[in-house]
Copies of this chain bind each other. A is one copy, B any other.
Amino acid sequence: MAPQPSELAFVPFVSVEHMMGLVHHIGIETVLRDLATAIEADFKRWELFDKTPRVASHSDVGVIELMPTSDGEMYGFKYVNGHPKNTRDGLQTVTAFGLLADVDTGYPKLLSEMTLLTALRTAATSAMAARHLAPRGAKCMAMIGNGAQSEFQCLAFKAICGITEVRLYDNDPAATAKCARNLAGLGLKVVPCTSGEQAMEGAQIITTCTADKQNATILTDNMIGAGVHINAIGGDCPGKTELHRDILLRADIFVEYPPQTWIEGEIQQLDQTHPITELWQVISGATKGRRDDKQITLFDSVGFAIEDFSALRYILGAIQGTGFYTQLDMLADPDDPRDLFGMLQRSNP
């Protein structure tokens, strides 16, 4: 009989089914709040992370990216694709998985689905940023783009920022209907709207999350009143933006990692001399976020590796003592590390 793999050979794996089970076990709003806390803590120690713009492989129809980072103790990376045309074929625009490894040994410590986890961490990051940037006491959010991310955004702004009303708009009314249906009974006042303008009535926070891979103008300058916070998460690859350039010129702009955001964010429309602020500096207290109630703040979010790292570390902690993972026989672990060939030979039936 072939020898059994040793314990060192196994990597905990969180499948989609286990991730869903874990989220329900903990409670989705608690997960969103915990993720915001974990991400905020890592933004506070931003400087010690090994940072690099994501490594992208572009094709005519989409992009596949690897997003690595390390805090010196753990190493993490995410695999993520972006294929806007996928939905036409019944596939996800974005799928993702991620890995954590021990820097000291290089051994993987967690493999996890991240399609769901990315939606959760993106929403948690948005709401965490808004806690520093949105007008005080904001209760109403316009949600422009009612696709796969939209309900997560709405719920995160409820759980983390105390939003009580969301006003939904999508150029496809079926998407708005789906979003409204999913949010029913979750404690938010949900108002489906038939135009972007209508959605923005009374909103102190405007979240844009649309998926077309092109320079679009979801928001024009005349739609934006003084004092609002814009959470722009859909402009996240080269040639894909959502806001009219004039809005950028009126707003104070906050970003995750400038070398990446200049390539992928709304600010790809600007000259690189334009002033921007790194969000981590606001969170660490080094600089101010919102200064007054007339200011337009813009979080030009493209998603950064550290957010995935924080999310994976949170999941690694959260699965301990639960059944929400399986063990994958992913690492060759011979008794004598130099005897890989002997391990192979001895496995011959």
Contacts and interface: CB of A to CB of B under 8 A. Distances in A.
Contacts of A347: 17, 20-21, 24
A89 interface: yes
Given A79-B99, A330-B15, A330-B97, A178 B24 contact: no
Total copies of the chain: 2
A90 B24 contact: no
Contact of A331 (B92, B105, B108, B342): B92
A340 B104 contact: no
Chain A interface size, under 10 / 10 to 19 / 20 to 34 / 35 or more: 35 or more
Interface string A167-197: 0000000010010011000000000000000
Interface string A51-93: 0100101010111101010101001010101110011011111
Given A16-B332, A178-B342, A340-B148, A106 B95 contact: yes
A2 B23 contact: no
Interface of A: 2, 5, 8-9, 13, 15-17, 20-21, 23-24, 28, 50, 52, 55, 57, 59, 61-64, 66, 68, 70, 72, 75, 77, 79, 81-83, 86-87, 89-93, 95, 97, 99, 101, 103-108, 113, 115-116, 119, 146-152, 175, 178, 181-182, 328-334, 336-345, 347-349
